[in-house]
Structure 1
Amino acid sequence: MSWESPQRLWLLLAVVALAVAYVVMQRRRSRYAVRFTNLKLLDRVAPKRPQWRRHVPAGLFLAMLGLLVVGFARPTDEVQVPRERATVLVAVDVSRSMLADDVAPDRLSAAKAAAKEFVANLPEEFNVGLVGFAGSASVFVPPVTDHSAVVTGVDRLTEGAAGRAGTAIGDAIATSLDQIRTLDAQAGEDTPPARVVVLSDGANTAGQDPAQAAQLAAELQIPVDAISFGTESGSIGGGQAVPVDGATLQAVAQTSGGNYFEAGSADELRNAYADIGSSVGYQTEVQDVSARFIGIGLALAALAAIASLFWFARLP
């Protein structure tokens, strides 16, 4: 938190001075009461009340003053604000290793279910596209605001649907970037922020170098969020081991300025997509938050008034 008018915080010294003055006056009243020698009469004119009650309104009033001073200093803080527009390309690995059943019912089915949920939860104004990749990358749905079309496209993702065998992570990123640049060219200068989300279970075995694609994404200021999906015990038909390998994806995310996630279950994958959705759907802005402190201060003022009326039948 920072302050637009930090010099005004010096007024807190006045609040502290009032608190000190209150304590001093209370001690003087106590000494004066002891001098009153007729104790029976003192009990009638000043009957005993719980000592803490008479300090509550004053304490609330001083707290209110402190909060109002803080609000007067115009505090600012980083606030998560929903984006009005953005472009998101979702790239899903459909290579043969995605048929491993270490994640029920299998990696690809779990990935499709999580991807559909992710797309459905994105703001309606967002352009969303879908890329499937194995040994090469194919555009299943170009970026559109019709998210139901993307969900339908996810249903069409099947093993081998994106061409020859292999895992072309670099091609998937490059294809996604091409789709974003095409959309941006149509939008002209009013281009929304963009992001690529790549899910795979292995290292790159075909196509262009993922490092080059990640570097291009960094130059275009388009972060690539990467999800490594699967476990070390994954295997496909005939007992062929297909352990998850996230090293390539981690390097891609680091180079492009995106985030890297490891998901070994359907729940972990949904959580990864949820984290990505929160970063894609919101942007951080510095905003004036003085209303928070002023509002709490006014609430404390109301409580002070209520306590004083209820206990002492007067306003503080």
Structure 2
Amino acid sequence: MEIAFNNPHYLWFLFSIPLVILAHFYSLRYSKKKALTFANFPAIEKITGDRLVTKNITLLVIRASILFLVILSVAGAIFWYQGTSTQQDFVIAIDASSSMLANDYNPNRISAAKEAALLFMDKVPKKTKVGVISFAGTSFIEQYLTEDSQKIKEAINAISIKKMGGTDLGEAIVTSVNLLLPQEKSKAVILLTDGQSNVGQILDESIEYATKNHITIHTIGIGTEKGGQFFEEIVSKLDEKTLIEISEATEGKYYRALDNTALTRAFNDVALLTKKQLSIELAFPFLIIAILLLFTEWTLINTRFKQLP
């Protein structure tokens, strides 16, 4: 659980609260000096009793609270927590580097990945928005987020091995996160790869970017421990350590899919997950509370705490 802010730069105004407190006590000293000119002290005591200090502290707390809540509201406070929900939007990110041609799956890794992703689309609830990207040395947006299942399946089927060399997991994560940012639902990335990130974006920075934006990344490691051949004698093996680090840092799950069946099972499990990162917008509630406190202050000043002339 945590509170985040859409406009954190406004939090600098919190330093104005001590100024409000100083101004209050300066005003209090001025009021006491003014009261000394009133000769009929018994009359003052009958009207105010012993509530002078309590009255001023009460108003101080109210005014400071109003300012505090208004600043949090303008800063766009959001409360993030782990909860359960069946509503979630996804980006499916499939590795399309040459290593995905390895033959340790039937017929190869990329074909098995596409087949499992297609079955995943039959499991997700209706109204779920899904986007698709492929990646190698850079990322390619195959389909922006949409509820149209047919378009998503066509995009998955269209994925092919990219000529650009290398695998850039970092850029794949950033591209996926950027696609999800405008969405209001809980958001997750399904990152399917053999985990061999060897070019491009610094991976730690990409993970931090996803975490900052509360995007869950579920990683699916495709590839056996023995590895599979592609392009004659070249062997590609699964890099589990990297994928585990990504999923743990973003509160997702890591799936080790050692064959076609396990790969399909991993996608199905993600579709059925109900534990998600959820958020509550606090800006409007804080503003309403601030308005109510402002009305309370006005009422007290003009009734119970009304000052003597």
Q: What is the TM-score when the length of structure 1 is the normalising length?
A: 0.59
1:177 matched residue in structure 2: 177
Q: Residue deviations 1:144-188, cap 9 Å, x none? A: 00011110001111111xx6111111111100111111x33xxxx
Among residues 207, 210, 214, which one is paired with 1:214 in the alignment?
207
Among residues 88, 97, 104, which one is paired with 2:106 in the alignment?
104
Tell me, what secondary structure is at the counterpart of 2:151? helix
Mapped to 1, the partners of 2:242 and 2:207 lie a distance apart of 10
Mapped to 1, the partners of 2:88 and 2:276 lie a distance apart of 11
Tell me, what secondary structure is at the counterpart of 2:273? helix
Tell me, what secondary structure is at the counterpart of 2:215? coil
1:93 matched residue in structure 2: 95
Q: Residue deviations 1:177-235, cap 9 Å, x none? A: 11111x33xxxxxx111001100013211221222111111111111000110112311
Identity %: 27
Q: How does 1:1-316 map to 2 (within 5 A)?
A: 83=86, 85-160=87-162, 164-181=164-181, 183-184=182-183, 191-231=184-224, 232-279=226-273
Q: Residue deviations 1:89-148, cap 9 Å, x none? A: 000001001001111111110000001111221111111000100110111000000011
Tell me, what secondary structure is at the counterpart of 1:205? coil
Residues 260 and 283 (structure 1), Cα distance of their counterparts in 2 relative to 1, 3 Å cut: closer
Tell me, what secondary structure is at the counterpart of 2:191? strand
User: Does the 8 Å CA contact 1:214/1:224 hold for their aligned counterparts?
Assistant: no
Residues 159 and 221 (structure 1), Cα distance of their counterparts in 2 relative to 1, 3 Å cut: same
Mapped to 1, the partners of 2:203 and 2:270 lie a distance apart of 21
Give 1:255's aligned amino acid: A
Mapped to 2, the partners of 1:111 and 1:276 lie a distance apart of 14
Structure 1 residue runs of 5 or longer lacking an equivalent are: 1-79, 185-190, 286-316
Mapped to 1, the partners of 2:199 and 2:84 lie a distance apart of 40
User: Does the 8 Å CA contact 1:203/1:247 hold for their aligned counterparts?
Assistant: no
Where do 4+ consecutive residues of structure 1 move more than 3 Å?
Answer: 282-285
Number of corresponding residues = 195
Mapped to 1, the partners of 2:180 and 2:143 lie a distance apart of 12
Mapped to 2, the partners of 1:137 and 1:284 lie a distance apart of 25
Mapped to 1, the partners of 2:188 and 2:264 lie a distance apart of 18
Give 1:234's aligned amino acid: G
Give 1:178's aligned amino acid: N
Give 1:239's aligned amino acid: E
Mapped to 2, the partners of 1:122 and 1:246 lie a distance apart of 26
Residues 283 and 249 (structure 1), Cα distance of their counterparts in 2 relative to 1, 3 Å cut: closer
Give 1:240's aligned amino acid: I
Mapped to 2, the partners of 1:87 and 1:233 lie a distance apart of 32
The CA RMSD measured in Å over matched residues stands at 1.9
Mapped to 2, the partners of 1:217 and 1:237 lie a distance apart of 34
1:305 matched residue in structure 2: none
User: Does the 8 Å CA contact 2:186/2:277 hold for their aligned counterparts?
Assistant: no
Mapped to 1, the partners of 2:150 and 2:122 lie a distance apart of 8
Tell me, what secondary structure is at the counterpart of 2:172? helix
Structure 2 residue runs of 5 or longer lacking an equivalent are: 1-82, 279-309
Give 2:237's aligned amino acid: P
Mapped to 1, the partners of 2:240 and 2:135 lie a distance apart of 16
Give 1:199's aligned amino acid: L
Mapped to 1, the partners of 2:150 and 2:118 lie a distance apart of 9
Give the number of the structure whose alpha-carbon radius of gyration is greater.
Answer: 1
